[in-house]
Amino acid sequence: MIKSYYFDHENDTMLHDVDLSRIDELLASPDSLLWIDLYDCAVSELHYIGEVFDFHPLALEDCLQISPRAKIDRYDDYNFFVFHALRYFEDVEEEDEIRSIELDVFMGSNYIVTIHPIALAAVGKIARICHKETSPMNKGPEHLLYKIVDNIVDDYFPIIERLGERIDDLEDNIFIERGREITEEILALKRTIILLRKVLIPQRRIFGNINGQYSFFVNEENVPYYLDLIDHLDSILDAANTYRDLVNSSTETYYSIINGRTSEIITVLTVMSIIMMPLTVITGFFGMNVALPGANNPYSVWFITLGMASLVTAMLIFFRYRKWI
């Protein structure tokens, strides 16, 4: 499906579903802005847009394939971006509870083309605003790109908050529960955080490097918006790094608890075995064809039983004294 939005700078109006055969006329004004949005589109529609704007075949090929990392490719007249939105499926019993959805963006001097396999809420929010007002598109393509990516980044925050809640629950449960459920939760959190960082780190590099310079041209009036976007990405990435350390720490604590419990069980079993060994020797010795001492005394069995009980008591006192139990 192809949707189009056109900001007419001269008349300060928005037009929708414009005729792309008039592309030269639409792009004649450098202050106007054309936005083409493609989602759930056929290959023929993608190639049609590629012919209209004369996009490079390699960039179109990237749109047809899944790119695992966010990136920016610079061409003569436009930039090609790859971003990733995230969807969170905690209750779905599948291998991955978080999935990335690719968003490809072509940005020229007065146009933007967005391509995504399914409808994205982040893009849909901007599209709905464009039906009513001109604010997302009247400050140039960089501002429209910022609005789209900012909505994508805003959708990361609920995921981060939910991960924090799950980690808090995990830290409480590792002292109470044990078994397969805890192990599965630890592995699920690790997979989710790894994918989250895999999306965030390359995306952060697109908008700024260690020198604080942008990797693509941004008008001065739009610089504060991108600085705010970078700040949000840094906050989310810092939280993801913290959660990674917390999960690793919880994993070490959990296995330390398991090892401690195992040691306690082995200690108890060892003490029981040591206590039973002399009793087994005594009963086994007199179980052979050996005359029982005081066999003619009707209380001899009780004396021997009392002696074994005294031996057990003495051994327990000794173990307690040496703090083995």
List, in order, residues 6 or more apart from 1 with CB less than 8 Å away. Answer: 38, 39, 40, 41, 45
CA dist., res. 49 & res. 45, Å (int) = 6
116-141 in b/e form (b: 16+ CB < 10 A) is beeebebbebbbebbeeebebbbbbb
Residue 121 domain boundaries: 2-258
Task: Write down the residue that tokens 């639409």 correspond to.
Answer: 26
pLDDT, mean of each 10-residue run, the chain (325 residues)? 87 86 87 90 89 91 87 90 87 70 92 92 90 86 92 92 90 78 86 89 78 69 88 92 92 84 80 82 71 69 81 83 74
Which of 240, 258, 276 marks a domain boundary? 258
pLDDT of residue 211: 45
202 touches 67 (CB < 8 A): no
CA 314, chain centre distance (Å): 57
Total length of the chain: 325
Over residues 9-43, the pLDDT tens digits come to: 888 888 888 888 888 888 888 889 999 999 888 88
pLDDT of residue 210: 41
Which of 258, 292, 312 marks a domain boundary? 258
Task: State the pTM of this model.
Answer: 0.79
Two tokens, residue 91: 């209750």
Kindly state whether residues 298 and 186 are assigned to the same domain.
no
- Where would I find the beta strands (DSSP E) of the chain? 2-8, 13-16, 33-39, 71-74, 79-88, 98-107, 111-116
Number of domains composing the chain: 2
Q: Which CATH number characterizes residue 232's domain? A: 3.30.460.20
